[in-house]
Amino acid sequence: AQSVTQLDSQVPVFEEAPVELRCNYSSSVSVYLFWYVQYPNQGLQLLLKYLSGSTLVKGINGFEAEFNKSQTSFHLRKPSVHISDTAEYFCAVSDQDSGGYQKVTFGIGTKLQVIP
Amino acid sequence: DTEVTQTPKHLVMGMTNKKSLKCEQHMGHRAMYWYKQKAKKPPELMFVYSYEKLSINESVPSRFSPECPNSSLLNLHLHALQPEDSALYLCATSTDRGTYNEQFFGPGTRLTVL
């Protein structure tokens, strides 16, 4: 089974500063990677996804991520964060079980704390 | 309509109660999922329904009983729960069971078992 590792449990950053949230995945032939955001007391919302093609993926709210096969990484970046970006961010990988059904495995999450 | 709705938003129940969580979508999605999320942890998959048939049961205790009465509805019946079952229960849907499909999440039901 595939897995993802989020290297930072918490990332504090000042407002308007850039941020990078790190994610590494276990190597596989086909990789489908996602970043989700969870605001307090809410469900998860998709920020962006990598299925194939261009390694630079642009998402919502000004976020982007770069798929790096040689480093097995899929780091999330934003050039200038806002207070409203304070949330939990989950990196996830999609895989198929023996029955051919999608199973999504989430990383442990990174809490982004934007400081005014 | 691109929403997944869940009711109730909050639920408090005793260990002898029977209750149900409800999830509804009108996006025409044919795969539906139940996840359990404990505080400060990622979501953990419980069940997957594909075309209204139970496809995956991640060894969930029988006190949790899922049901998919039609393609728009997903229920989770709860009976004789334990305090450690207190968590946020998330419903998600996707177009079908393909590995490349985005999952759309509902806002969750915050369950407290006393």
The predicted-structure confidence for A36-92, as pLDDT tens digits, reads as follows: 999 988 899 999 999 888 899 999 999 999 999 999 999 999 999 999 999 999 999
Which pLDDT tens digit goes with each residue over B7-54?
A: 999 999 998 889 999 999 999 999 999 999 999 899 999 999 999 999
How far apart are alpha carbons B2 and A100 in whole angstroms? 26
Contact B55 A32 (CB under 8 A): no
Amino acid at B54: L
Q: Does A101 touch chain B (CB under 8 A)?
A: yes
- Mean of all residue pLDDT scores within chain B: 93
Residues of chain A with Cβ-Cβ distance to B90 below 8 Å are 43-44
Which pLDDT tens digit goes with each residue over B59-77?
A: 899 999 999 999 999 999 9
Contact B31 A42 (CB under 8 A): no
Contact B42 A106 (CB under 8 A): yes
Give the pLDDT band of residue B81 (cuts 50, 70, 90). very high
Secondary structure of chain A in HEC code, one letter for each residue: CCCEEECCCEEEEECCCCEEECEEECCCCCCEEEEEEECCCCCEEEEEEECCCCCEEECHHHCEEEEECCCCEEEEEECCCCHHHCEEEEEEEEEECCCCCEEEEECCCEEEEEEC
Residue A28 clears pLDDT 80, i.e. is over it = no
Residues of chain B with Cβ-Cβ distance to A34 below 8 Å are 102
Compute the nearest-CA separation of A97 from chain B (Å).
9
**Looking at residue B30, what is its pLDDT?**
93
CB-nearest to A43 from B41, B97, B105 is: B105
